[in-house]
Chains A and B, each alone.
Chain A
Amino acid sequence: MSDGPIIKVEDVHKWYGNFHALKGINVEVKRREVIVIFGPSGSGKSTFIRTLNRLEEHQRGRIFVDGIELSHDVRNIEQIRSETGMVFQQFNLFPHLTVMQNIVLAPIQVRKWTKQKAEETAMQLLERVGIPEQAYKYPGQLSGGQQQRVAIARSLAMQPKIMLFDEPTSALDPEMIKEVLDVMVELAKSGMTILAVTHEMGFARAVADRMLFFDKGEIVEQGTPEQIFNAPKEDRTKLFLSQILRH
């Protein structure tokens, strides 16, 4: 069981009205694997990563996360979500709660931890992401990079088995991208299973085990960073890489 894939996606389709957003996705993710998903906007990469914790519902095919199938059963969904952390482009911190309260809320309410245990864990996580001194501020008082690091700490507080990143640096000013990527690199090296939608090719080169290139709702090409960067097979991959790597 523990050697099998932690995520198994079989022939997943998704439609928005008549728009075919995902056209038969098949992926298996091994434990501790770091996967970078990239592709042009509207290619379905965000939709795909959001089906994995059912922020989007797939209409055909099957998804297994850690052996549990995503179905309409709410208990299954909540269990998968509590074991799957997600970091959003827009951070989505809770603005009415302090950084500390943002982090301890789910462990206390969902995991039923004591307040003390949750706060100790939160403090360790804030140190890990480098902002322990911000614990009692509100999200609105932090910079974008700090907010995103809080969001990462908030997800990690649930001790997830998988971390999903949905364009985590796209809303950040350039000088703040690095501080977030550093945290992600450290996380990848610590052995976390990661799926990240990102165009930060430096991150991909540094830690990705595999890269998936999405276009028009399909996985057009996949391979190690070396294969993708040095010897892409598909024309669409070459074209896209030439566009984003030009400068």
Chain B
Amino acid sequence: MTKTTEHILPPVLERSNLLGWMRRNLFGSWIDALLTLIGVWIVYWAASGLLRWALYTAEWKVIVVNARLLMIGQYPIEQVGRLWIWLGFLIFLLGNSLAIWGRGSRIAPALLALPVAMAFIFPFGADPRKWLIAMTAIGLIGWGLGRVKPEALKRSVIAGWVISLPIIILLTYGLSKSEASIVPIVRTNLWGGLLLTFLLTVVGILFSFPIGVLLALGRRSELPAVRWFSVGYIELVRGVPLITILFMAQLMLPLFLPEGWTVDRVVRAMVGITLFSAAYLAENVRGGLQAIPKGQFEAAAALGLSGAQTMIFIILPQALRLVIPILVGQFIALYKDTSLVAIVGLLDLVGIARTVLAQPEFLGLQREVYVFISLIFWALSYGMSYVSQRLEERLGVGIR
């Protein structure tokens, strides 16, 4: 193979450099040039206005003073360590998972360094700063372990995620009524801010998922009673706004319960959100089920697999994979919809924002507060979206 292959360069205009690119895409004709200039001016005008406001006009003191309120509501300050512990646990698992399943992703260490960055950028007190630094350390340890022994850790990481919800609830709520206990009970009326929003979201997602899948299967069941129940439930719940369900859960649920029974208000909201989301989830999952060809059912049946085995091993894995993007969209919507609980009097991120704004010294600072909570909502929504994209790549949606 001594013959040298001749290199043929692409046409001059195709050879990319910045100037060539700009000339082709931004200044291709005089009208393009005009549009480009107008566009640049609009962006400059909007961005400079926003920056001027954010840097000079805005009074961020309202966020600094109320930071703890916005994050955890009235949760007693001497018990805050419990929350940091489960957050650390989650970050550890996150570090593990990023190393094991997201290999090659350079964003992981940056993501894990975020708490430290926050500790230095924002005017936190000494305690939160220490905790934030600890979070990054824990995350990096988890990440490092995941890189060193990915195969050995897989099972325990999955187990960790499975038990994480009970751990979160246990640590947040507490074990014993006595004040002397290490983890005394913290009543849910003290839960608030991002903490409450987070818990409502996580519980809503984790419980609506299995219920929704069962409803989707029920809707396709051959048993008329099961099918009609599923159809009735889905159509009924989809026909009413979430806010009415939340009101009903708060006001009407007590009417159906035996005398003397009470259900915690936060739990009522969780139930309302879960039941609402399950109906939508069922329809999304049904869409995935319908996309599975009949031949898959027949091949499974011909092998002697039972109906349940066919669903578990053949149909659901394929159907759920197909609807990951839709489900993540729904979970993001659920996360943002939890803000409606503010209307029934719970102090989630939005509810707390409203109480903060009701303090006399912070009147009229809506912009600062709402921009801040919007940023929080955006950051976590984007996080979910990012994870789902990684998941899709992993599972090869659209490839097979």
A residues within 8 Å of B by Cβ? 53, 55, 78-79, 81-86, 88, 90, 92-96, 105-106, 109-110, 138, 140, 151, 154-155, 158
Give every chain A residue within 8 A of B299 (Cβ-Cβ): 86, 88, 92-94, 151
B residues within 8 Å of A by Cβ? 293, 295-296, 298-306, 309, 313-314, 317-318, 321, 399-400
Give every chain B residue within 8 A of A96 (Cβ-Cβ): 317-318, 321, 400
Contact of B298 among A88, A105, A138 (CB under 8 A): A88
**Total number of residue pairs linking A and B with CB closer than 8 Å:** 63
In Å, the complex CA distance between A86 and B301 comes to 10
**CB closest chain-A residue, reference B317:** A96
In Å, the complex CA distance between A158 and B302 comes to 11
In whole Å, how far is B70's beta carbon from the nearest beta carbon of chain A? 43
Beyond contacts A55-B298, A95-B400, A155-B302: 14 other A-B pairs, Cβ-Cβ < 8 A, are A53-B302, A55-B301, A55-B302, A79-B304, A88-B302, A92-B293, A92-B296, A94-B299, A94-B314, A94-B318, A105-B303, A106-B305, A110-B303, A140-B400
In Å, the complex CA distance between A155 and B301 comes to 12
Give every chain B residue within 8 A of A109 (Cβ-Cβ): 305, 309, 313
In whole Å, how far is A194's beta carbon from the nearest beta carbon of chain B? 15
The verdict on A81 contacting B303 (CB below 8 Å), with A92-B298, A94-B296, A96-B318 known, is yes
Give every chain A residue within 8 A of B293 (Cβ-Cβ): 92
Give every chain B residue within 8 A of A88 (Cβ-Cβ): 295, 298-299, 302
Q: Is the CB of B318 within 8 A of A95?
A: yes
Q: Which 4 A-B pairs have the closest CB atoms?
A: A82-B304, A92-B299, A106-B303, A86-B302
Give every chain A residue within 8 A of B301 (Cβ-Cβ): 53, 55, 81
The verdict on A84 contacting B295 (CB below 8 Å), with A109-B309, A109-B313, A140-B400 known, is no
Q: Is the CB of B295 within 8 A of A105?
A: no
Give every chain B residue within 8 A of A140 (Cβ-Cβ): 399-400
Give every chain A residue within 8 A of B321 (Cβ-Cβ): 96
In Å, the complex CA distance between A61 and B299 comes to 25
Interface of B is mostly: helix
Q: Is the CB of A82 within 8 A of B303?
A: yes
Give every chain B residue within 8 A of A92 (Cβ-Cβ): 293, 295-296, 298-299
In Å, the complex CA distance between A186 and B314 comes to 30
Q: Is the CB of A154 within 8 A of B298?
A: no
Give every chain B residue within 8 A of A138 (Cβ-Cβ): 400
Q: Is the CB of B298 within 8 A of A78?
A: no
**CB closest chain-B residue, reference A87:** B302
Give every chain A residue within 8 A of B400 (Cβ-Cβ): 95-96, 138, 140
In Å, the complex CA distance between A155 and B399 comes to 26
What are 18 A-B pairs with beta-carbon distances under 8 A?
A53-B301, A78-B306, A79-B304, A81-B301, A82-B303, A85-B302, A86-B299, A88-B298, A92-B298, A94-B296, A94-B314, A94-B318, A95-B400, A105-B313, A106-B303, A106-B304, A110-B309, A154-B303
Give every chain A residue within 8 A of B306 (Cβ-Cβ): 78
In whole Å, how far is A80's beta carbon from the nearest beta carbon of chain B? 8
In whole Å, how far is B306's beta carbon from the nearest beta carbon of chain A? 6
In Å, the complex CA distance between A106 and B103 comes to 33
Give every chain A residue within 8 A of B296 (Cβ-Cβ): 92, 94
Give every chain A residue within 8 A of B300 (Cβ-Cβ): 94
In Å, the complex CA distance between A158 and B301 comes to 13
In Å, the complex CA distance between A78 and B314 comes to 17
In Å, the complex CA distance between A123 and B237 comes to 51
In whole Å, how far is B291's beta carbon from the nearest beta carbon of chain A? 12
In whole Å, how far is B285's beta carbon from the nearest beta carbon of chain A? 16
In whole Å, how far is A97's beta carbon from the nearest beta carbon of chain B? 8
**CB closest chain-B residue, reference A75:** B306
In whole Å, how far is B398's beta carbon from the nearest beta carbon of chain A? 12
Give every chain A residue within 8 A of B309 (Cβ-Cβ): 109-110
Give every chain B residue within 8 A of A93 (Cβ-Cβ): 299
Give every chain B residue within 8 A of A81 (Cβ-Cβ): 301-304
